[in-house]
Structures are given as structure tokens and as C-alpha cells.
Amino acid sequence: MQVSNRIEGLNGGGSDGWDVFYRARAMVNAGEPVTELTIGEHDIRTDPTILAAMNAAAMSGHTGYASVPGVAALRDAVALRLTQRTGVATTRDSIVITPGGQAGLFAAHMALCDAGDVALYCDPYYATYPGTIRGASAVPRVVMTRPEAAFQPSYADIAEQAEGARSILVNTPNNPTGVVYDRPTVEGIARACCDFDLWCISDEVYDTQVWEGAHLSPRAMEGMAARTLVVGSMSKSHAMTGSRVGWVAGPAEVIEHMVNLATHTTYGVPGYIQDAALFALKEGPELESRVGAPFERRRRLAQGLLAGQNVVKLVPSGGAMYLMLDCRATGLSGEEFANRLLDTHRIAVMPGESFGAAAAGHLRVAMTVEDAAFEAALTTILTFAKELAA
Ligand code: PMP
């Protein structure tokens, strides 16, 4: 029996560059000690106060079908958050609650792109992007960014690919680079969207994790609120990756269609999860700072460790839970470096190539192990790179 071409072609064929990750997992499962700096998952769990709110909501009976667009109080809280943090007046009808940011990314492309429409995304990219676009039957087209420009997409980078495209997916703070888009970048994105009549899908799931600079939402730029969907999530900001709760914010008429899509796909998010998310948002920025603090601390540690040498260069990043290391001076590809590092030192990092061609010769390091182990791993990576470069 034949499955759909859509589902069969989701990964686009070829190696997905995640071999190092799978090999490391196999070693761990076989009982070998591996320092895993691979995926974007906190080394802390969801705060017990959030779990208590979840439990109370479930025990009080919020376990039936929940409101498909999201419970009103949560939509209001998300709208208020966006209004306060981005300066764009946002109301309940501009918000749909989704089972995480990933579902929001898919729903956004479903809402904006017809089958065969070209959807732009920036390289290096979060691993699911091209598959998400293909899943919506759109055609992914890459906007290449450059390490020399700290992987910030420029107006010219976008313009080169924008002819005939329908949408562009951007991500700040960025996974995999940790780069926070500066004002010229965000203004360039906005200008390109207006000039080429593109929808902007803005993945802002790391918006609370900014260690240097400030988070700027493309939606807040002139002329952009009417053509932007913002994807948000509780996963990273509140260490709620397993709860599967996020949102999409945008023009009310688009959100209405997305609620209709949710009715025919997810049927919403469990009520007790939404109540827990509401509790967490109402706790305010203090809880978010606590969740993000380890990454800010480890980034500072890395800056200190990597200062004063040129073999492993830190891409100038300002946020998220990742570091991007430029290891081109060793002469190895990111993939070779990562494989050899795993084999010789039992440290797992992601090759830059896993996230596209732009990050070739780089490594993505997730800052997701406790400080001492993190510091030891980085020290080993640096020593190993120096040996290779010598
Ligand atoms: N966007 C980016 C850039 C991510 O890194 C992730 C998760 N790693 C997601 C979206 C999806 O997150 P979630 O579905 O957990 O909200």
C-alpha cells in the first residue's frame, strides 16, 4: 500500500545529520558515560508550583474537552504579555492556544501557504523547519545567512530568494546559533516582507532567554502586525517542554481560520495544562529568569574559557540555550569534529551541518548540563580542537 508523497517526502531525503545524537543516545542506553550537549531540553524540571496548579486544575474537573481556541483567561494572559513586551496592542481574538510551538509552526504554514507555494526559511535553521513546510504541502526555499554576519539575515539575503515566495519563517533568539537579531536585521526583515508581499512567521519561543541585547519582534515593526504570525511557547520559557502548550498570535481573521484548523486537527490543548500555563504566566518574569539563569551563567563561563584564542571561536550570540562554535580552524567539518569528539572524549555536540549548509564547520553546544560538567566539557573541546589544529 502506498502512503502519501507528502508524508514520504517530509524529511527531504538524504542524511539528516543527527547521527551523532543517535550514536550518543545508544552509548548512554548501553551504560556508557556521555556528556550530552545535544538537544534543547533544560536540566531542571517544570517548577513544582506549576505542577501543583496543574494537579489542582485536573482534580477540580478540568479534564474534559477544553475550549478549542484556548481558555479565555489564558488567551487574555498571552495577549497581555505580547502587548506589554512588544508594544503591539493584542487582544484575545488574536490568540490561538496550540499544543506547543511546533504545532503552531505547522498550523501557521497551513494557514498561509497553499500547496506548491514557496515558503522561505533561514539557514542555519531549527531542524524541523523544512519538514514542517513540506508537511503543509508548501515548498521550502532557503535564505542563506553567513557566519561573517553572525548568521543575521540581511534584507539582501532575503531579497535574493523572495521573488514569488509566500512567506518567510524567522527565529530570534535563534536556534541553533543563539543569535539575537538586532534592530537593523529585524527592520530588514520587515522591509523585505513589505516589498515582496510576504507573510512573516516569527518563531519567538526563546523570547525570554536574552542575555545580551533585547528581543525585537518583527510584528512590532511598521506595517508588520497585519502580515505576521508570532509563534510562542511555554516549553523554553518555563521548562514545560513535555506539557505541549504554546500559541500563535496574529491578525484576528487569520486566527479564526486557525481555530477552525485546530477543530479539525488537535481539538485544542487539555484544560488542566492550559490552567497550569496561565498560573505560570501570572507568576511573571521572576520565574522566567530563574528558568533561564543557568544558560546565562554557562554562556558567561564559556565566554571566559574561550577568550584569548582563535581555534574555537564563539559566534557572537546573545540568547537561547545554545552556543555556536566556529571550529573551521581545525580543518575538520562540524560532522567530523563531533564524531571524533564523541568517540575519543564521550562528549556529544551537534554538528553545524545538522542545521543546514550555512553552519558547516561549526558545532552547536546545548548548555544543558550542570555548570561543572559543562565547564569540563568545554575545556576538553578546546584542548581537542587545539590538538587538531596543531
Ligand atoms: N522553535 C524552535 C526554534 C525550537 O528550538 C523549538 C524546540 N526545540 C520549537 C520551535 C518547538 O518547541 P515546542 O513545540 O516545544 O514549543
Binding site membership of 207 for ligand 1 (Cβ less than 6 Å): no
Pocket probe for ligand 1: among 98, 126, 181, the residue whose CB has the most ligand atoms within 8 Å is 126
CA of 10 to the centre of ligand 1 (A): 18
| Residue 155: φ, ψ to 5° | -55, -45
CA of 101 to the centre of ligand 1 (A): 5
Secondary structure (3-state) at 299 = helix
Taking the C-alpha atoms of residue 168 and residue 162, their distance in angstroms, rounded to an integer, is 8
C-alpha cell at 321: 540555550
Binding site membership of 243 for ligand 1 (Cβ less than 6 Å): no
Residue with cell 512590532: 220
Ligand 1 atom, smallest distance to 101 CA: 16
Write the CA distances from 382 to 81, 306, 343, 387, integer angstroms: 41, 8, 16, 9
Count of residues making up the chain: 390
Write the CA distances from 378 to 58, 145, 342, 352, 365, integer angstroms: 43, 26, 13, 16, 9
Ligand 1 atom, smallest distance to 40 CA: 8
3-state SS string for 15-27: CCCCHHHHHHHHH
Predicted confidence at residue 13, as pLDDT, reads 72
**What string of pLDDT tens digits covers the 390 residues of the chain?**
999 999 999 988 766 678 999 999 999 999 999 999 999 999 999 999 999 999 999 999 999 999 999 999 999 999 999 999 999 999 999 999 999 999 999 999 999 999 999 999 999 999 999 999 999 999 999 999 999 999 999 999 999 999 999 999 999 999 999 999 999 999 999 999 999 999 999 999 999 999 999 999 999 999 999 999 999 999 999 999 999 999 999 999 999 999 999 999 999 999 999 999 999 999 999 999 999 999 999 999 999 999 999 999 999 999 999 999 999 999 999 999 999 999 999 999 999 999 999 999 999 999 999 999 999 999 999 999 999 999
